[in-house]
Amino acid sequence: MRLGVVGMVPGDLRAIAEKHLKAVQALDLTAACFHGAGDRLFDVTSADCERVRRLYTEMGMDLPQFGVGYNECLFDPNASVRDAVVRKIGRGIEVGRELGAHVALIRTGSLSPDGSYAPSRKNHTPDGMERLIETLRRVADKAEAEGQTIVIETHVTTIMNSPEVNRDVVEAVGSERIRIVMDYVNHFQMLSQVFNSAERINHIFDVMGPISVVAHCKDISVRNGFVVHFDEEIPGEGELDLATALRRWHELRPDGYMLLEHLPNELYPLAARNTQRIAKEAGVPIH
């Protein structure tokens, strides 16, 4: 398998410089990924993308994932909202292709006013699922036209709230260009699964593995409080059997990337060291 990071470079791709990629390389990582704000991508030029692509090539770095940022929900009842977000994603697909990104990442969003990953009863209705699949088919048309694979970041709090739902949605959309992020941490639903994590990790990989082309590497910690509280954790500092996750990913995609994410820059060295140590102990080569 391969190991990279989402972060450590500016969110505005026009500001990415050699020094940022050198900092990532110093951690023995071979990829530096970032997100671009959907509204601002219309200001990004082909020349901007070519400069970044050339820099990555000269530095021997990969861009396995380019994230498209937006606040809208893909299954919003308002058609104009859906039209607006499809337009942003479409531009993100174009930018991702020009950057040479392996995949462009999107999210489903939420009908909660509190954010894209905030839970809401409204997220889980048959009408909402129908709208989601309709929107994703529009996204797939653009992705197919551009030759750019899309991955969806899914989560237990979202409309795509389980490995099984992920599989069903991908099958319903029916495009090889629509895939899922193997973010196993996002699909732990209860405390017993965390404390018996190898079983849950294996189930997630069994169901989602065939439709996942990039993975995120994180851990889970359990926090005190009523009723149950999970937090993302630095890999190797939490409760999960990461050796199982690393082995399953390597078996699935020996040249595929796992990406460290959601940490301040000063904690990525620890995250990288822990992941590299666990991989070595598990007999998983990172190249």
pLDDT at 226: 87
Chain-centroid distance, C-alpha 5? 11
233 vs 265: CA distance, rounded Å: 14
114 vs 275: CA distance, rounded Å: 32
pLDDT at 192: 96
- pTM for the structure as a whole: 0.95
- pLDDT tens profile 37-96: 989 999 999 999 999 999 999 999 999 999 999 999 999 999 999 999 999 999 999 999
Question: In the chain, which ranges are E strands?
Answer: 2-6, 32-37, 65-69, 103-107, 149-153, 178-182, 212-217, 219-223, 229-233, 257-260
Tokens of 104: 């462009």
pLDDT at 87: 98
236: left (phi over 0), alpha (psi -120 to 50) or beta: left
Domains and CATH numbers, the chain: 2-282 (3.20.20.150)
Stretches where the chain sits below pLDDT 70 are none
Relative orientation angle of helices 46-59 and 79-99, to the nearest 10 degrees:
50
Question: In 64-121, which ranges are E strands?
Answer: 65-69, 103-107
Q: What is the Cβ-side half-sphere exposure of residue 80, based on CA atoms within 13 angstroms?
A: 0
Whole-number Cα distances in Å, 189 to 162, 193, 206: 9, 7, 17
